[in-house]
Amino acid sequence: MDSVFHPLTLVTFFPLLGVLAILFVKPEKKNAHRWIALVTSLFTLGISLWVLAQFDASNPDLQLVINLPWIQVAGWNIHYALGLDGLSVLLVMLTTFLTPISILSTWTAIEERVKDFMIFFLMLEVGMTGVFLAQDLFLFYVFWEFTLVPMYFLIGIWGGPRRMYAAIKFFLYTMAGSLLMLLAILWLGINQGTFNVPELVAKGGIPADIQMWLFLAFATAFAIKVPMWPLHSWLPDAHVEAPTAGSVILAGVLLKMGTYGFVRFNLPLFPAAAIKAAPWMALLAVIGILYGAAVSYAQRDIKKLVAYSSVSHLGFVMLGLFALNPQGIQGGILQMINHGLSTGALFLLVGMVYEQTHTRDFDVYGGLWKLMPVYGTLTLIVALSSMGLPGLNGFVGEFTILLGAFGSDAIGSPWYAGFAAAGVILAAVYMLYMFQKMFLGPEGSIVAKVKEHGHALRDLNAREIITLVPLLVFIFWIGLYPKPFFTLMAPAVDKLVALLQATAVAMH
């Protein structure tokens, strides 16, 4: 029983209780499904806060570890192992935090087959939390692949006109990458005799050339998920077609599984390869930053703009992680959270206006600030956070990342950070372009068109504001006083950096 009521087991699998409850309710009782899902996800959030309360921020190691034999046949040494440390604690919180928000955003947006939707959504939460907690490579892989299924259906059933195409592409693309990772995992399990991540890290000793192959295998899976340039082709399709809540979770959490994978596995398991690869990863990251920003600017579809902006933002995360120093990695992890908050909020905002207008074409918008002052103001704050205005969360992450990358020994040259910093200009260009097109200037044609249908554009209602306020609280909190967030991850990152530095010394 201890294993069932273990905090990490509970936080991971609690949403399944909600699934179970939903199964017993008739499909036509839509509100019941909504409420069950919301309450379940709020309970899960509560459990995660309870977990957070037990988390000792000063301890760099895994905590609340649970480790039970799972599959022990034919020499396979697979465990049900969960654990939490500074690298994952914020991401777990982000997951449990964004899930209820996303569910709340579907209240009126999802009317078809609410029951199925909520089931998939809660299952998705299980998978995501599991990914961030798993400390056994095999278990991690199961969770990792498991997230694909509900997301596939969320896009494929409740998505836009090209949903099938987007869903299948999302599925196959990410799965193709994962298969290489699976091979690498199997290699590790067979040759090192364990799938347990901390044990593998402690054991080390993988020859340099093999390390590089394993690094690349893992990196392929993660880079597709992030997505790093040029493996981002699935992202605009998935984002544009996904329903709002799907986009929020996709951008907010699923992409972070990729960046998290780099921190959790690529850096500590293959440190020598990571050091060698750092300049190349940084190069791809910088290309992604600039390319993503330029391509964002040229979009005519609001959601596509936000989707491509993720390529740019996650380029920053990757640049920070591969700085391989405390500033870069802490900034990178914080920026994962920041991107989840800001881009999540952006997708919510886009969805809110889309519900009223049913179009995401820039050209028909304009002058909305006057008609929807609250909506305009909140969008402006989120857009500013996304473009890194000091005082809001994005700046703290970007600045520490740039600072880390600028002086990184592993990357080896300040030029990368210099070019990345130019991305800050480009971010202002596309974000302000979006804001201006939608909210400033004279009224766009959509205003009249909505009126023709007998409605008038309304400002945000209470539910919509409640959906956004928690995000805004953190956008300001992290922007003004990021210390508690850095404190949570600092010891774990320091430990990781110490390992990397020891490796670097040994290499020279």
Partner 1 sequence: MILSEIATSGPNFFYLAPWLVFIPLIGMLTNLLIGKRLGEKAIGGIASTASGLTFVVAVLLALSLRAYPEGTTVPFADWITIGELQLRWAFRVDTLSTTMMLVVSGVGTLIHIYAIGYMHEDVRYKNDPGRFRRFFVYLNLFIAAMMILVSGDNYLMLFVGWEGVGLCSFLLIGFWYEMDTLGRPSTANAMAAKKAFVANRVGDFGFLLAVLTMFWVFKSVQFTDVFASAQQIAESNPGAILAITLFMLLGVAGKSAQIPLYVWLPDAMAGPTPVSALIHAATMVTAGVYLVARTAPLYVLVPQAQATVALVGGLTALFAATIAVGQYDIKKVLAYSTISQLGFMVAAVGMGAFVAGMFHLITHAFFKALLFLSAGSVILGVERGHHHAAHHDGHEDDHAETFDPGDMRNMGGMRKTMPVTFWLYLIGALALAGIFPLAGFWSKDEILAEATALNFTVYILLAIAAFFTAFYMGRQIWMVFFGKPRHEAAAHAEESPPVMTIPLMVLAALSLLGGALNLPGVETLAHWIERTFETFGVKLHPAEFNLNVAITSTVLALVAIFLSWLLYGRKPLTDGQPDPLKRILGPLFTGMENKWWIDELYWAVILNPYIALARFFADVIDWRFWHDWFHDTVIAGTYQWLSKTALNVWADQRGIDAFANGLGNTTKALAQRLRGLQTGFVRNYALSVFIGVIVILGYLILQ
The C-alpha atoms of residue 431 and residue 450 are separated, in whole angstroms, by 25
* Tokens of residue 388, six digits: 């890194």
By CB under 8 A, is residue 23 in contact with partner 1?
Answer: no
The amino acid sitting at 349 is: L
Q: Which of 440, 457, 472, 504 binds partner 1 (CB under 8 A)?
A: 440
How many residues contact partner 1, by CB under 8 A? 79
Q: Report the alpha-carbon distance of residue 225 to residue 48 in Å, rounded.
A: 25
Residues 227-246 that bind partner 1 (CB under 8 A): 230, 233, 236-237
- The CA distance from 275 to 46, in Å, is 39
Checking DSSP bridges between strand 78-84 and strand 63-71, what pairing results, if any?
antiparallel
Q: For the chain, what percentages of helix, strand and coil (3-state, to nearest 5) are there?
A: 75, 5, 20
Torsion sign over Cα 250, 251, 254, 255: positive
Binding region for partner 1 (CB under 8 A) out of 99-107, 152-160, 346-354, 457-465? 152-160
d(CA 226, CA 224): 6
Helix then strand count (H, E) for the chain reads 23, 2
Binding mask 324-363 for partner 1 (x = CB under 8 A): -xxx--xx--------------------------------
> Which residues within the stretch 200-219 sit at the binding site for partner 1 (CB under 8 A)?
none
Decide whether 100 or 127 has the Cβ nearer to partner 1: 127
The CA–CA distances, whole Å, from 149 to 122, 175, 260, 302 equal 12, 11, 20, 27
Which of 384, 450, 475, 496: binder of partner 1 (CB under 8 A)?
Answer: 384
Binding mask of the shown chain, residues 41 to 60, with x at each position contacting partner 1 by CB under 8 A:
--------------------
Nearer to partner 1 by Cβ, of 164 and 208: the residue is 164
Q: Please pick, from the candidates 20, 49, 68, 172, the single residue that binds partner 1 as defined by CB under 8 A.
A: 172
Task: Tell me which stretch binds partner 1 (CB under 8 A): 55-63, 245-253, 341-349, 438-446.
Answer: 438-446
Which of 4, 53, 73, 506 is in the footprint of partner 1 by CB under 8 A?
A: 73
Q: Which of 400, 467, 468, 495 binds partner 1 (CB under 8 A)?
A: 400
Q: According to CB under 8 A, which one of 49, 425, 498, 507 is a site residue for partner 1?
A: 425
DSSP letter string, 44-112: HHHHHHHHHHH--TT--S-EEEEEEEEE-STT--EEEEEEE-TTTHHHHHHHHHHHHHHHHHTTTT--S
Q: Does 486 bind partner 1 (CB under 8 A)?
A: yes
Site for partner 1 in 461-480 (CB under 8 A): none
Report how far Cα 28 is from the mean position of its chain's Cα atoms. Answer: 32
Alpha-carbon distance 277 to 220, whole Å?
A: 13
Residue 187 binds partner 1 (CB under 8 A):
no
List the one residue from 35, 80, 165, 213 that touches partner 1 (CB under 8 A). Answer: 165
Smallest gap from Cβ 68 to partner 1, in A, equals 17
Query: Candidates 98-106, 205-213, 440-448, 458-466 — which segment interacts with partner 1 by CB under 8 A?
Result: 440-448
CA-closest candidate to residue 346, choices 168, 166, 471 = 471
Among 169, 225, 360, 495, binds partner 1 (CB under 8 A): 169
CB of 331 to partner 1, least distance (A): 8
- From 107, 140, 144, 171, residue interacting with partner 1 (rule: CB under 8 A): 171
Contact pick of 3, 20, 61, 76 for partner 1 (by CB under 8 A): 76
DSSP 8-class letter at 367: -
Q: How far apart are the first and last CA of the chain?
A: 50
Q: Which is nearer to partner 1, 172 or 202 (CB)?
A: 172
Which CA distances in Å does 32 have to 21, 383, 467?
A: 10, 34, 19
CB 21 within 8 A of CB 115: no
Q: Whole-number minimum distance, CB 11 to partner 1, in Å?
A: 25
- Rounded Cα–Cα distance for residues 287 and 398 (Å): 16
One of 17, 201, 283, 428 touching partner 1 (CB under 8 A): 428
Per CB under 8 A, 79 contacts partner 1:
no
Taking the least distance from each CB to partner 1, the nearer of 20 and 498 is: 498
Among 20, 49, 68, 164, binds partner 1 (CB under 8 A): 164
SS3 per residue for 390-420: CCCHHHHHHHHHHHHHHCCCCCCCHHHHHHH
439 sits near partner 1 (criterion: CB under 8 A) = yes
| Ranges within 91-150 binding partner 1 (CB under 8 A) | 116, 145, 148-149
483 binds partner 1 (CB under 8 A): yes
Footprint of partner 1 on 240-299 (CB under 8 A): 291, 294-295, 297-299
